[in-house]
Structure 1
Amino acid sequence: MNNKTQKTMACVLLGMLVIFFPVFLFAKISPLVNFQGYITDKSGMPVADGSYDIKFSIYDGDDETASELWNEIQNVSVKNGFYTVSLGSVTAFKDPNRDTDESDALGFSKPYFLGIKVRKYGESTWDIIGFDARYLPLSSVWSAFRAKSVSGRLIAIKDQNTIVSDAEDMLLVVGQTRITLSSALNAAGRMITIKKVDPKGTIVTIISVNGETIDGVNRDPNDGYDPLELTEKYQEINLISDGRNWISTAGGGMSSTGSSGNITDIEPGSINTIHLADHVISTSKLANKSVTSEKLFLEDHSIEHKKIDLTNAITNSEIAPNAAIPYTKLQLDASIDTKDLIDKAVTAKKLALAKGDLSYSMINLTGLIINSDISENANIDYSKLNLNNALTDGDIAENASISHTKLDLTGISAADLLGSATIPYDNMQIEGRIKNSDISTSAEISYNKLNLTNMIKTSDLEPGAVTYPKLDLNNGDIPYAKISLNQSVIDADIAENANINYSKLDLQNKISTGDLLNGAVTANKIARDAVRSETILDKNITTDDLADSSVTAGKLNVSQEGTSGQVLSTDGIGGLFWQSVSSSGTTSDTLSKLTVAGHSNLNTLAAQSANI
């Protein structure tokens, strides 16, 4: 906004019949009217978001001679060019002068006209919103308003993907937005208007549902079909339901990503440049090879380079021999290779080199520099020379005075030395060279000259060389683990009072009969049931060994269980068994006899006719 005198802004207030609708809060004649508008700058772009003062005025005519009947100023928030206000909320229509005298109330019985001015909040100069006429006629809408009807259309502003609700008649759409139609079923006669109101560069897509069509074409991507598109600013479409599908009455043109179903209705040659909106045709909308050269109307140099995609398209044969392309047109950075240059093409004059530009590492002089190339006063440092294995005896002057430290005398034999030569020890390299035979038997090398740390081995010591007095040991110095006593400790080594704990002994399966004294194991040392028949020697237990009544029937190993009336018999080889006595006169001779030494208390009732 600026501070010049009043001027008409290149702004747009969307048609009153479609952008505002009355909300009736009846209190006699004191209603409010919801009003929605859209403001752009001269270039057609929405004004910057922010706070604006907007003055609404109602006139009795549409030119300069008209009288202002009512006005109010509201501070509104504008976003993306849109704003919404409730007219009558500041100045009541029943009291335009705000003097409590309602004799000048607006009756809306005759045509009225609306004027609008706007200014940035905090500024003082108003800009006039321009219409086709000076003021916007309100007669049709205000008639509906005066009649207290709700025939005004319900408006919604959409900047996000949405489904059209039953309470929305017109959608003003902003941005890259998808509009999904409600079902046309049972909505015969309903009209929906969808209008794209933001600048170019975004696309509004319209989608049908449930297999319903728009002008006979399914627009549901879920069924694999393309949606309808609005691509141009202020492009709109009216859709009317016939109870099953939607029929369009385009208002401002529409486009589709797919076939519209009526392209064949266009007469050949009927479309020319005046029918095409600027920038509406893109490559994706043209069939391959559909635009021929005769369809193009081009002046020289009228096509900008950025409009042409020549990537990998221009070949060498398409460039004229005399094209004379200037060097400035070439991008040769790091492009020219050695093979691109003819031998000896680059002369010394072509080189622009300052001192130090060309490093030595970049020059290959191997085998090329000869003696005459080196200046007499070159003063080449020794460090620059590689003389390894290169100097001969003839290269050394007679008075060279080479110091001894510079000499490596490795390999010089005794014959090479003068008889009276005295070579200091420090000048000799004898490490690893002196042998035992080189040392005199009377050398008497003092102990402090020797470094024997960790050097003396067991094999260096003669047997018995280290006596006990030579040992310096405290209790515990030699750990038990260091002592090898395997098979070495004898009975005599163990003290009489050694008191070796039983827990220190491993006697499992080690004590034999010979280790036990006769009578050492008494009866109370034997666990109950520990002694079994197989551990007792045959015929070793005598009557004296048995306590009275200690042998019961259960202690006898009988081959089967007995029953009442049976007698105990032996098989003659140590086995016992129970045998029944026949009641038919079995004689005693048929039964084995049990001889019991001494007295017996056998149950004679169980041994009837046993002939014991």
Structure 2
Amino acid sequence: MRSYIYSGALLVVLMLHTAWAQAPAVIGYQGVLTDGSGTAVADGTHTLSFGLYEMASGGIAVWTESQTVATVNGVFHANLGSASPLGIDFDRALWLGIGVDGGAELSPRLALTGSPYSLIARSVADGAVTGGKIADGAVSAADLADDAVTTSRVADGAITSAKIADGSIRAVDVAGGEMVTGVNGLQDGVTLAAGANVTITPSGNTLTIASAGGSGGGGLADGSVTSAKIADGGVGTVDLASAAVSAAKLADGSVTGAKIADGTIASDDLGDGAVTSVQIADGSITAADVAAGEVVKSVNGLQDAVTLVAGSNVMITPSGNSLSISANMGGGAGTGDIADNAIT
């Protein structure tokens, strides 16, 4: 029975594809087969059996497969997992055992090193991949889920003009106080054109709009502005020339008390008989307001309601608007004036 000696090395673990089932992970292995004297076996094919164990010797394989490989000067290459998928977890220590052409497993087993253990990446825990683990430029647009990049994920100053698609920024995206987003409802390139009697002078970032003289009417002919051209309520006090509003311009009843300044109505402003009792506030007429010969202003210096009382030998007799004041006959005492038993 021939004996074999092998030496070899695990090569590169093929990168895992996003879809595991479409691109199974394999471990590249290359070795050299020699006979018992150390001479490379003749060129040809050999059947190699591979097994992965959780211990350096003994135990039961957790994965096995067989492959037919070609040797050249004893050198062979095999992709472990190409015949039987590597459906195991590489989160533990594992050893590779090899048998040749149905013979016993060769010794010693080969301990797996770092590269095969990278297969554990297919079950990386959420959040385990940090920014430091990602190569610069490795993340493409296709790798990002919709709405995955939020404001908090973008570093200050990271978005340059080249990153912004033309025409993608709208007025609502602009913070207040940053730029002019509209002029009288217009957007884009707005041109201010100077009309009649107006000049527009730029100076740096300042535009000075000034009147160029003239009547300010912009070339309006006399009398061309009719009532229909004036907006309702458009004429203010400052637009009226002095004495421009005559009595004929005032509608009947349009001047109320609130429109009249205190103390401005003179006697000449009142029509004859215009002020009636209703217009006079109670108690507001003084003696000085009454013309001479019109009313009794006082009686012996008394005002308000004066009562005349008839004294001894006096009679007061009213008749219409007349009061008759008279004395008794003889001017002496009558019997009615002498008390009983008064004369002794």
Determine if the TM-score, normalized by the shorter chain, exceeds 0.5.
no
Name the TM-score class by shorter chain. Answer: 0.3 to 0.5
| Structure with higher strand content | 2
By relative contact order (CA 8 Å, sep 6+), the higher-ranking structure is 2
Normalised TM-score (structure 2): 0.32
